[in-house]
Structure formats: C-alpha cells, structure tokens
Amino acid sequence: MALSFHKYSIAVLIPCYNEGVAIASVVTAFRTALPTASIYVYDNNSTDDSVDQAQLAGAIVRIESLQGKGHVIRRMFADVEADIYVMVDGDATYPAEKAPGLIEHLLTHQLDMVVGARVPEEGAYRHRHELGNRFFNTVVARLFGQGMQDIFSGYRVFTRRFVKSFPGFSSGFEIETELSVHALDARIPFSEAQVPYLARPKGSESKLNTYHDGSRILWTVLKLYTQIKPFKLLCWCSVLLLLASLILGYPLVFTWIETGLVPRIPTAIIVMGLLVFAFLSLTCGILLEGVTQARRENRRLHYLKFPQFQ
C-alpha cells in the first residue's frame, strides 16, 4: 500500500544553464505534479532569459556563479532544507508526473535514493551518448562490483540524510557518476525505477560535449576507483611487476644454476628493481586499504548522524 508523502516537506531542485526555452514548462509541470513542493531553480550564468522565465513560472531562483553542474548541485544540497529532494534537469526531458511515484517508491521501500532510469523515446538520445551511457554503466559495474542501469540519470529522489552526507567534489557532468558511486560504496539503500526520457523541446540544445565530458567522466571513475579500492589496484600492479621480473629473471637464474655466473648485470639490476617495486606496491595497497576502510567507516557514521527526515 502506497504511503502518503504530503506530510513531508519536498524540494524540487533544478540546475539551469541556458534553458530559457524549457525552464518555465518544467517549473509549471512540477508545480502541478507536486503542489506542496518548493521549487528551486539554480541558474549557472545563463546568457538567455532562463532566470526571467523561471521567476515568471513561480520558482525560487538562486544563482551559482561557479560554472559547472557539479558546483550547482553541491550548492543546492548545501543551501536547501527539506525532507525529500527531487533533482531534475531543466531541459524538459523528464516527465514531472512520474515524481510522485518515485517519492512513493522511496518511502515504501525505505530508501535514501531512487534513480529514474531513462527509457528514451525515439530521437531522445544522440547515438554517441547512448553508446557512452552503456559503456560507462558497464565500467562502473565491473570496477565496483555492482552497477546501475543508468548512472547518468539527472532525475533522482533523495532523503535528507543522503543529501547532507554527500561530499560532492565534482565540478561538471561527472557529478551523477559521483552520486552513483557514493551510494554503491557506502552501501546506501537505493533503487531504480524506469521513467520515459523525452526529446528536447525545439530550440533547446544539450550542454554535454561527447568527448570532452566523456573523458572527464572516465577520469572521475578511475580516480574514484583508486580512492575506494586501492588494494585491488595496487595488488594487480604488484602481480604485473612480479610477472615482469620473473620473465626477465628466468634466463639469468637458469644460467647461474648451470655456470655459477650472472650474465647481463644491467638486466639483473632491473629484475631486482621490479621485485622491490612489486613488494612495495603490495605493502602500499595493504596500508591504503586500511586508510580507505577508516574513511568508509567515517562516511558511514557521518551519514547515520542525519535523520532520514527532519
């Protein structure tokens, strides 16, 4: 049986950059879908009439001068107080009428995040973006042992304790990746629910640069992996260094057993260096894993300090 969410304070958070064509319709749609919610539009240095359109539609408009979606979301999470947060892009690609269902899903299953996994309509995705989405979903699942259908979705519902315990260091479009990996690593209860992904309104253009932002996202994923799973990474480095030393050193050892002489002294020095680095990598991995576990425990305790709702 569905739980009523009307007793909770709800904030709709809409990051906005040059969305004058769509922002008013987004605000109006969410005001209809969630009539008791406070709707915040955080403008990120728009050069069109986004601010005017959002104000005319009745949104609470605030400004974030640091350029980048990550900066905007971090500011929204810091400034806005509510029990339930609905984050959505300002480009009218996500249906507002799905928001009550996502909130009910969050409450019914006692989750801290529900991700609106996109089911694109015809022409909603650029081909390269669809391929990139599949690639990164697979990479995250392989690296972190668990994945999501759509780690890049901009349509999410959060509880207060998720929002207030999320560190958020990304500056651009990689912020969704950080949100997803944070939930995976901290074992925060989350779920996904499929939502339609609509084509942009005529005159609205995507701000995502396929190659530039894709490389930033890949770098973020790799950086998070080194921070979250240092032992596994350095263990593989140790194994590779050890194998290289064995391959180079085998002929030397074989010759020494037969003749009692060590040929190719420079190669022998390299072999010893590789062995030393192999054991150093393994030792560093063990030490860093202890540090990572302590950081993970601290993040978990920080998350638990906040009530799920006010």
Count other Cβ atoms within 10 Å, centred on residue 107: 19
For residue range 206-231, what is the model confidence (pLDDT) as tens digits? 767 767 777 888 888 888 888 888 99
| Averaged pLDDT for residues 295-301 | 84
Q: What is the pLDDT of residue 1?
A: 35
Q: What is the pLDDT of residues 5-26, one digit of tens each?
A: 778 999 999 999 999 999 999 9
Q: Which CATH superfamily is domain 10-228 in?
A: Spore Coat Polysaccharide Biosynthesis Protein SpsA; Chain A (3.90.550.10)
pLDDT of residue 76: 96
The pLDDT-based confidence of 169 (bands split at 50, 70, 90) is confident
Q: Which of 161, 79, 81 is nearest to 113 (CA)?
A: 161
CA distance linking residue 23 with residue 239, whole number of Å: 53
Cα–Cα distance, 256 to 275 (Å, whole number): 18
Where in the chain are the domains?
Answer: 10-228, 230-304
Instruction: Check if the beta carbon of residue 10 is closer than 8 Å to that of residue 84.
Output: yes
Worst-scoring range by mean pLDDT, 79-93, 99-113, 137-151? 137-151
Residue 71 has pLDDT above 50, yes or no: yes
Q: Which of 72-81, 188-197, 238-247, 266-275 has the lowest mean pLDDT?
A: 266-275
User: 219 is written with which tokens?
Assistant: 């770098």
